[in-house]
Structure 1
Amino acid sequence: MQIAQILKQPNLGDHLDVCGWVRTRRDSGGFSFLEINDGSCLANLQIIVEGDLHNYEQVVKKLTTGCSVKVQGELVESPAKGQKVELRAAEVDVLGWADPETYPLQKKRHSFEFLRTISHLRSRTNALGAVTRIRSALNFAIHRFFKEQGFFQVHTPIITTSDCEGAGEMFTVTALEQAELGKAEGFSQDFFHRKAGLTVSGQLQAEIFALSHSRVYTFGPTFRAENSNTSRHLAEFWMLEPEMAFCDLQGDMQLAEALVKDLVTAVLEECADDLELFDRFIAKGLLARLQAVVDQPFEHLSYDEAVKQLVTSGKSFEFPVSWGSDLQAEHERYLCEEVAGRPVIVTNYPAQIKPFYMRLDDGGKTVAAMDILVPGIGELIGGSQREERYDLLKERMEAAGLSLEEYGWYLDLRKYGSVPHAGFGLGFERMVQFVTGMQNIRDVIPFPRTPGNAPC
């Protein structure tokens, strides 16, 4: 039986079988106290082992941190502070020993930098274990939210020939040897008979199904071959991308705000103990900030207004601010942390700094785009109304240097029954960062892939 179930609904007198990993062992007056954890919750279950147990000297007194055990016993009331119940052991069996001389996780706080060097074991720690449970809760809440909103999930391809962002930072997928790639025929001899790469976004393919099923979303891994070794970047990360037909920018913003509030509500209700850990040790005041996200409407600023706020702030930024420049993380955080004191939605960015698929506003200077900025992170969501007008989309694609032949299918969507439609992308790891207060994005994904680093 899982420890989370036992502690949630303890039934004194029950005889239970419990499995887990030993966190600590303490001996006192002919007894041993074991703290074991099975990952189902933050709390450990205390096991009381009496000295007359048949394998007490040979087994129990040799248990160390990291050993895996199976314990049979009776659930009894605990006289100790901080816990209501404990298990009085009738049998303790070792499933796997852990060498105390080499086991790297001991009863002390380890730095996150050190834990990244042992990615195969770090999920056994309190903080990374809590991240895992919160990440799982957020994942489930995402699917529940979109199901309730009438969306269909679409599995978009991981291998693609379309570069949605146009930044050229795709990982190439090939079955050819390097020498073969250098020949004149090149990718025409490759597996797909053309150049292919790992997807940077499922948006373009999701639009196909939005224009047949009205409301769809895709949620899966995406890849960027960007040589950025910072606390904000990963080479592999998960993206949530809903797309809606018959929708404009206003509807896009409303859905995105509702989603963020719903996800925060879900973790507040379902992961209270884990969030309290982060509130105490990682990000003081986290619980109050998350509750404020649920209780308050998001602030709205146009790009023009945002730039004016930044230019007149009197604050010295590392990156200078002027109209036409993209907002950096320091600008985004200033707007939501110091100007608004809440999440901010910035709209109508200059067309020159946004991708080709975003709908041009009247005048052609800006596009119907929006970003949701949150405290501690900066940009959490980026979205837009898509350009549904064939001629204008074709012009934007030509200006971006895209092949009209290769992207002919995308133009076809505007030739055959085009409708206004919109969507956005939410970086899942940034969402996990936001609700946990973790500072480095590498600590909110199970196996971080970064330049020069791909363990496990």
Structure 2
Amino acid sequence: MRHTKVKDLLNSSSTLHEVNAKGWVRTFRNNQFIALNDGSTINNIQCVVDFENTADETLKRITTGAAVSVTGTLVESKGAGQKFEIQVSKLEILGDSDAEKFPMQPKKHSLEFLRENAHLRVRTNAFGAIMRVRSVLSFAVHSYFQEKGFVYVNTPIITGSDAEGAGEMFKVTALPFDNTPRTEDGKVDYKEDFFGKETNLTVSGQLEGETFAMALGQIYTFGPTFRAENSNTSRHLAEFWMIEPEVAFNDLNDNMDLAEDFIQYVIKYTMDKCQDDLKFLEGRLLEEEKSKPQAERSEMALLEKLNFVLENNFKRVSYTEAIDILRDSTPNKKKKFNYIIKEWGADLQSEHERYLVEKHFKCPVILFDYPANIKAFYMRLNEDGKTVRAMDILFPGIGEIVGGSQREERFDVLVEKMRALGIDEEELWWYLDTRRFGSAVHSGFGLGFERLVLFVTGMTNIRDVIPFPRTPMNAEF
């Protein structure tokens, strides 16, 4: 008999027929009641064992975490909170189970403990819900762009360029560490390396994506990126996933329209598909909030926060206007910000971004026209010579979630900016070619996928929304 998913059994329209279910034991009570889960839903199905006719040896092996197969009759449940249950006629233990050593016992575990057991944490309700939401969000990303006629492009993971100019990149080499070939001046001789030049793991697919947008019109990338930033905070990962669309002939206003429409689409799609998981995560978040001081509690519940994004138009505000607002704000005047805003040109922090969204405008905000000296070289310079056509989308509880810009399409201006920043023109000769041949206005943005999952699930640490987090001094599993 083929087994049926727990989700389908719980949604069944008929009873009193024989079914088979397979999954993992969440709890086993009174030598009779198994709470069975197979990952298809956050909800368990109760399986009622005929303990009088089941061997004691078998009953002893029904432990938390054990994989089992149950066959029996699907009946209406007499217990509260569940529609159906299985009256078990046949039970089989699949594989081994060491009850005494299984770390995911049915009790509350700290998130730090669960990170140390990332290979098993997905068996908990919270992480099962998070990973299902992540999966649906991922599908929604592709669904949106495919429906809009975008071409999916796989940009290189190994690259010779540093798109952000930050220099915090993982080197890729086949050179020996013990006897590394050197040039006459003592530097590493990368001509002897596998690729014949210095290469790294990518921090962004944007530059390569732009070359495809100049031929295919509208493209998007969605793949792994890497940053060797030695930061052990709740907002940083060394390996993460980026969504990066690039669109020919789009200016900054078009770019803002696209980003707003995209992010509202994927959130709504996920809310429609993951109602049970999001309700559970909201309840979990509300329980956590109770233990926090009043001042640190979120002002909005999870679903309220998601609807806040769906139901409000994103307010568009220039960086200059935002600086004036922040400089005159009460927390700035009373020095309650950790970073006091003193003058134009300051790089905004999360506390400033959240103030604009949550306190001042009370809606999602898109900031644009940032100072050129705090943004990347490829952003289009405005006529004032001091700002660029950059944009950041700010959300409640998280601050910046999207960063993008209209790209600098003018060859001479781009070269001048690269020279001023010491960026090697020869290394990016191919990027400059897109400005030499058929250059046009174009724009794009980047969205860190884990940042999006963090927002939608209500989690507070980015390590909890990726299957196996990679952070400084941690590459386990």
Task: Provide TM-score, normalisation by structure 1.
Answer: 0.97
Q: Distance in 1 between matches of 2:14 and 2:194?
A: 60
| Deviation by residue 1:226-246 (Cα, 9 ceiling, x = unmatched) | 001000000000000000001
Q: Distance in 1 between matches of 2:165 and 2:21?
A: 53
| Deviation by residue 1:366-387 (Cα, 9 ceiling, x = unmatched) | 0001000111111100000000
Q: Which residue pairs with 1:132 in the alignment?
A: 131
Q: Which residue pairs with 1:386 in the alignment?
A: 407
Describe the SS at the equivalent of 1:256. Answer: helix
Check whether the contact 1:73–1:87 (CA below 8 A) recurs between aligned residues: yes
Q: Which residue pairs with 2:5 in the alignment?
A: 2
- 1:285 equivalent to 2:328? Answer no
Q: Distance in 2 between matches of 1:57 and 1:83?
A: 28
| Deviation by residue 1:27-74 (Cα, 9 ceiling, x = unmatched) | 2xxx60100111111000100111243x34220244110111011111
Describe the SS at the equivalent of 2:330. Answer: coil
Q: Which residue pairs with 1:63 in the alignment?
A: 62
Ranges in structure 1 where 5+ consecutive residues have no aligned partner? none
Aligned residue type for 1:439: T
| Deviation by residue 1:58-114 (Cα, 9 ceiling, x = unmatched) | 202441101110111111111111001001111110002321221111111111111
How many aligned residue pairs are there?
452
Q: Distance in 1 between matches of 2:17 and 2:189?
A: 69
Shift of 1:14: 2.5
Describe the SS at the equivalent of 1:216. Answer: strand
| Deviation by residue 1:397-447 (Cα, 9 ceiling, x = unmatched) | 111111111111111101100010000000100100111110000000000
Shift of 1:281: 1.5
Q: Distance in 2 between matches of 1:90 and 1:296?
A: 54
Alignment of 1:196-275 (within 5 A): 196-275=199-278
| Deviation by residue 1:260-291 (Cα, 9 ceiling, x = unmatched) | 11111011110011111121111561111211
Q: Which moved more, 1:311-320 or 1:277-286?
A: 277-286
Aligned residue type for 2:470: R
Q: Distance in 1 between matches of 2:385 and 2:55?
A: 79
Describe the SS at the equivalent of 2:49. Answer: strand
Describe the SS at the equivalent of 1:368. Answer: strand
Alignment of 1:27-426 (within 5 A): 27=30, 32-53=32-53, 55-181=54-180, 183-184=182-183, 186-283=189-286, 285-315=301-331, 316-321=336-341, 322-426=343-447
Q: Distance in 1 between matches of 2:179 and 2:426?
A: 25
- 1:448 equivalent to 2:464? Answer no
Aligned residue type for 1:276: K
Shift of 1:10: 4.1
Q: Distance in 2 between matches of 1:337 and 1:177?
A: 53
Ranges in structure 2 where 5+ consecutive residues have no aligned partner? 287-299
Shift of 1:119: 0.8
Shift of 1:169: 0.5
| Deviation by residue 1:188-222 (Cα, 9 ceiling, x = unmatched) | 10000000000000000000100000000000010
Shift of 1:331: 1.2
Check whether the contact 2:248–2:440 (CA below 8 A) recurs between aligned residues: yes
Describe the SS at the equivalent of 1:150. Answer: coil
Q: Distance in 1 between matches of 2:157 and 2:445?
A: 18
Q: Distance in 1 between matches of 2:345 and 2:177?
A: 41
Q: Distance in 2 between matches of 1:390 and 1:12?
A: 70
Check whether the contact 1:227–1:451 (CA below 8 A) recurs between aligned residues: yes
Check whether the contact 1:60–1:92 (CA below 8 A) recurs between aligned residues: no
Q: Which moved more, 1:181-190 or 1:74-83?
A: 181-190
Aligned residue type for 2:269: A
Shift of 1:450: 0.5
Check whether the contact 2:71–2:88 (CA below 8 A) recurs between aligned residues: yes
Q: Distance in 2 between matches of 1:331 and 1:140?
A: 32
Aligned residue type for 1:275: L
Q: Distance in 1 between matches of 2:174 and 2:156?
A: 18
Of residues 428, 440, 457 in structure 2, which corresponds to 1:436? Answer: 457
Describe the SS at the equivalent of 2:393. Answer: strand
Q: Distance in 2 between matches of 1:344 and 1:121?
A: 38
Describe the SS at the equivalent of 2:209. Answer: helix
Check whether the contact 2:51–2:59 (CA below 8 A) recurs between aligned residues: no
Describe the SS at the equivalent of 1:181. Answer: coil
Check whether the contact 1:220–1:238 (CA below 8 A) recurs between aligned residues: yes
Check whether the contact 1:119–1:447 (CA below 8 A) recurs between aligned residues: yes
Percentage of matched positions with identical amino acids:
52
**Given the superposition, is the C-alpha separation of residues 353 and 263 from structure 1 closer, same or farther in structure 2, using an over 3 Å criterion?**
same
Q: Distance in 2 between matches of 1:97 and 1:74?
A: 26
Task: Provide TM-score, normalisation by structure 2.
Answer: 0.93
Q: Which moved more, 1:44-53 or 1:138-147?
A: 44-53
Q: Distance in 2 between matches of 1:9 and 1:396?
A: 63
Aligned residue type for 1:268: M
Check whether the contact 2:61–2:97 (CA below 8 A) recurs between aligned residues: no
Shift of 1:11: 2.5
Check whether the contact 1:237–1:428 (CA below 8 A) recurs between aligned residues: yes
Q: Distance in 1 between matches of 2:197 and 2:318?
A: 41
